[in-house]
Structure 1
């Protein structure tokens, strides 16, 4: 699964669990159900939920009666925590190694890497202000000033 896929799948899965009120093993949502909601393959969901469980955001139980459930309320889970949980970053690329002997090529990758760190930090700060509960709300203050990103498909 690509880095760019983990965060949206994780945020969607957490929002689904909150929407369904999955706060205990009795209410656990199976990976196939989560996958149908995203939509993606259940294997992708299981990989993401394993990362979310490792971060302490959810718990999971394997098997036919298994699934995932939230360990925290959706208003207490910020999207920067979700991004960190899935080892994500505001991935806008990575600098090439550069050519030996070229003063520009030896200098630019380090500077581009610093710029990427700045972008990642800014994304984390923005995501820290948005919670899973905000994703479920009709027009939460944390997202009210924004339109959907132009590269993202939006359901009608």
Structure 2
């Protein structure tokens, strides 16, 4: 699974568990059910849920009767925590190494690296204001000023 897909899959899975009331082992959401909702392969979901469990956001139980459930309420899970849990960042690229001996190549990669750090910090700050509960709300205050990005598919 690409790094760029871990965060959206994680946010979707957490929102699905919240929607279905998966707050205990008895209500655990199986990876096949989560995968059908995303839609993706159950293996992808299991990899993501393992990261979310390691971060303490969910618990999981393996096996035929297994699944995942939330350990916290959806309004208490911020998206910056989700991003961190899946080892993600707002990765918009990386600077090329540059050519040896070129004064621009020796300077620009460092400065572009700093600009990328600034973008990552801004994304983390924005995500810290959005919760899993907000994703389930029709028009949450935290997202009211935004429209879906033009490159993102939007369900009708």
Q: Secondary structure at the match of 1:142?
A: helix
CA distance in 1, matches of 2:117, 2:55: 22
Q: Structure 1 stretches of 5 or more lacking a match?
A: none
Q: Could you tell me how far 1:106 is from its partner in structure 2?
A: 1.1
TM-score, normalised to structure 2, is 0.99
Establish whether residue 101 from structure 1 lines up as the match of residue 133 from structure 2: no
Q: What does residue 116 of structure 2 align with?
A: 116
Instruction: Extract unaligned runs of 5+ from structure 2.
Output: none
Which portions of structure 1, spanning 4 or more consecutive aligned residues, are displaced by more than 3 angstroms?
Answer: none
Deviations 1:19-48 (A, max 9, x none): 000000010011000000000000100000
Tell me the distance in 2 between the aligned counterparts of 1:99 and 1:42.
Answer: 43
How many residues matched?
156
Q: Give the aligned partner of residue 24 of structure 2.
A: 24
Match of 2:146 in 1: 146
- Taking the aligned partners of 1:151 and 1:19, their CA distance within structure 2 comes to 26
Residue 56 of structure 1: CA displacement?
Answer: 0.2
2:8 alignment counterpart: 8
With normalisation by structure 1, the TM-score equals 0.99
